[in-house]
A and B are shown apart, each in its own frame.
Chain A
Amino acid sequence: MSLTKTPASSRNTKTSRQARSPRAPWRWIVLAVVGIGAMLTAAPFLLLVLNAFKSSSDYSQNGPLAWPTTFSMQAFEGYLARVDFPLALWNSIVISVVVAFVGVTLGLLAAYGLGIGRIRGSTAVVAVFLLATMLPHEALIYPLFYGAQSLGLLNSIWSIIIVFVVLQGAFATYLLSSVMSTVPKSLLEAAALDGANRRQVLWQVVAPVLRPTMSVLVVFFFIWTWNEFYIPLVLLADPASQTVPIALSTLRGQHSIDITVVNAGSLLSLIPTIIFFVLFQRTLSRGVTAGAIK
């Protein structure tokens, strides 16, 4: 709201900043429209925070827009009584960290074989991997469910880890093999002249060149895996193995639940993401920039 200041202050900034456009009111209108759009985007989050700290009677009496009469942790206690949040948090962290690092590593190995080794049919392999990233998970889910059941991996976080290491690894292969061509040929030739073997070339020449791309991939894989919904929903039915989003989704359809409890649960589940966003904001925007990821 404070973004739509008075025209007087606009004149000040205009002279101090040598505006390009002579039509001063326009810039404020544009800022106001874009700013209001951003506010509408952020509003659900802000209102969520506002209402998570209310008691349920406070919420029903004073409505969702009022300031809380007292700061109440009642809703959070209600959520923590239903869901083992620390365990879900731990599961999510383990799954996402392992998938992010192992997925990128396997992607690097595969892309090295395909890009530098130029295995026959490498274009076809990359195309198949790319196709796999478009594949709807519905077309895999029942066999995965069945397979996990027969291997005793149903309700184990390892089922999710295995599935997403491969799926993210396929994406990493696709992206890294397209970046692989940027590794300077002269570097590879020099390494070969120095008598470096394949493994040395990979870890001492190729990997350092690709490191910026790989770090972006790690960040994105972490967050994609963290947010993943469909496959974990099916494979992790047991509360002991659930991730943060899946634990939250167990509230679905329980109409007896107080709405402030749902709010508190949503807010708790949101906090790790917000922290991550703040920490890695630069990498995230660089990533979207770099390869138009996702």
Chain B
Amino acid sequence: MTTETTARSTRSAAQRRSGTARRTGRAGYWWYLAPLGVGFLAVVALPFVMNVYFSLTSWRGGIAPATFIGLDNYARLLGDEEFWRSLYNSVYMIVAIVVVPTVLGVLIAAALFDYIGKQFGGRTAAFLRATYYLPQIVPIAVAGFIWAWVLDSQSGLFTLVLQQLGIQDPPDWLGDPAIALYSVMLVLIWLQIGYPVVIFMAALQRVDPELYEAAELDGAGWFRRFRAITIPQIRPEVFVVVLTATVASLKVFAPILILTGGGPEGSTVVPSYYAYRNFFELSRVGYGATIATVMSLVIFLAATVLLILQRRSDRQENR
């Protein structure tokens, strides 16, 4: 730090002499970064490092002694069926949070912007957009409880309505290991759909209307215009949505905790929930920290891969 500061002040002194620099040196700007920087070290950097250290220990938490065991937790993780299942379930989370909402989102946004906005007026489109967006701003706990009620096997909405329709034995949406994961996916799609719709609609506003007009004059139908103009034009936004949604889908926690608690029979367990259980229910802090560390690596890796793909496709575009 000190050598850095001196280096800084000599350079700024040189700049001052050259006359291009402002009245004072650059070193003073560190003070602007300091409040957040100190907080960041205390609340993010240090806890992260501590968590990595915990992952190298066997520790039951609290005042219990922690023993250093090296990479044993990681070795155990490799053979832990429940962990692999949680990772495998993350693929379903990606389908429910990334794939389905992005595809539906492009279609809905195009229909709203291109069709409904022009045919029925901007207010109708804006109202429908707001409706799709609503689940995005509702607290996840509230959304979870609403769906826990809708899907409840005893007195839930689906069950009672199906019974009224004469179906004697409606499925146990969250209690049947064969369908619980799909019920959770339905909730996640509902939660997520508004995000791509809003972003893609905004992106479409950027597109030059003349492109569409020219294509229309050339006799291109709606679908051809959609494929040839809409999709390529909003590609940057598609990448943003895919990146953020992928990161979010690897972190899913609250819906699982509230809807299923990872059950039935572990069919809906996800990594974050598995880490939580190890931390706070099973008192296996070291092991929980291992899961959390691996989760972070998986997320960083996924984000890096997506960013590289984006850069590569940008380059192809420019060629």
Let me know if B185 is at the binding interface, CB within 8 A. Answer: no
- B289:A109 contact, CB within 8 angstroms: no
Contact status of A139 and B145, CB under 8 A, knowing A106-B35, A281-B130: no
Shortest A138–chain B CB gap in Å is 4
Let me know if B98 is at the binding interface, CB within 8 A. Answer: no
Let me know if A259 is at the binding interface, CB within 8 A. Answer: yes
Among A59, A109, A244, point to the contact of B139 (Cβ < 8 A): A244
- B157:A139 contact, CB within 8 angstroms: no
- A119:B44 contact, CB within 8 angstroms: no
- B139:A227 contact, CB within 8 angstroms: yes
Let me know if B137 is at the binding interface, CB within 8 A. Answer: yes
Task: Give how many B residues have a beta carbon under 8 Å from the other chain's beta carbons.
Answer: 103
Mark B residues whose CB is within 8 Å of A: 4, 8, 22-24, 26, 28-33, 35-37, 39-40, 42-44, 46-48, 50-51, 54, 61, 108, 111-112, 115-116, 118-120, 124, 128-135, 137-142, 144-150, 152, 155-157, 160-161, 164, 190, 193-195, 198-199, 202, 205, 216, 222, 237, 240-241, 244, 247, 250-251, 253-254, 257-258, 261, 271-272, 275-276, 279-280, 285, 288-289, 291-293, 295-296, 299-300, 303
Which residues of chain B come closer than 8 Å to A236, judged between CB atoms?
none
A117→B134 CA distance, assembly (Å): 40
Instruction: Name which residue of chain A comes closest to B121, CB basis.
Output: A17
Let me know if A185 is at the binding interface, CB within 8 A. Answer: no
Let me know if A226 is at the binding interface, CB within 8 A. Answer: yes
Among B39, B155, B190, point to the contact of A166 (Cβ < 8 A): B39
Contact status of A170 and B135, CB under 8 A, knowing A35-B128, A259-B152, A266-B145: no
- B44:A284 contact, CB within 8 angstroms: no
- A167:B44 contact, CB within 8 angstroms: yes
Mark A residues whose CB is within 8 Å of B: 13, 17, 19-21, 27, 30-31, 33-35, 37-39, 41-42, 44-45, 47-48, 59-60, 63-65, 106-107, 109-110, 112-114, 116-120, 125, 129, 131-132, 134-144, 146-147, 162-163, 165-167, 169-170, 173, 192, 195, 197-198, 202, 223, 226-227, 229-230, 234, 244-246, 248-249, 251-253, 259, 262-263, 265-266, 269-270, 273, 276-277, 281, 284-285, 288-289, 292, 294
Which residues of chain A come closer than 8 Å to B112, judged between CB atoms?
34
Contact status of A139 and B24, CB under 8 A, knowing A132-B44, A147-B47: no
Which residues of chain A come closer than 8 Å to B26, judged between CB atoms?
117-119
- B119:A19 contact, CB within 8 angstroms: yes
- A38:B131 contact, CB within 8 angstroms: yes
Among B129, B140, B144, B292, point to the contact of A139 (Cβ < 8 A): B292
- A63:B161 contact, CB within 8 angstroms: yes
Contact status of A136 and B146, CB under 8 A, knowing A27-B119, A166-B36: no
Which residues of chain A come closer than 8 Å to B44, judged between CB atoms?
132, 135, 140, 166-167, 170
- B275:A140 contact, CB within 8 angstroms: no
- B291:A192 contact, CB within 8 angstroms: no
Among A20, A143, A195, point to the contact of B51 (Cβ < 8 A): A143
Q: Mind listing 21 A-B residue pairs with CB under 8 Å? A: A27-B119, A33-B111, A42-B134, A47-B157, A59-B155, A106-B35, A109-B33, A113-B31, A119-B30, A132-B44, A134-B303, A139-B292, A141-B279, A163-B43, A166-B44, A198-B22, A223-B137, A227-B140, A263-B149, A281-B130, A285-B133
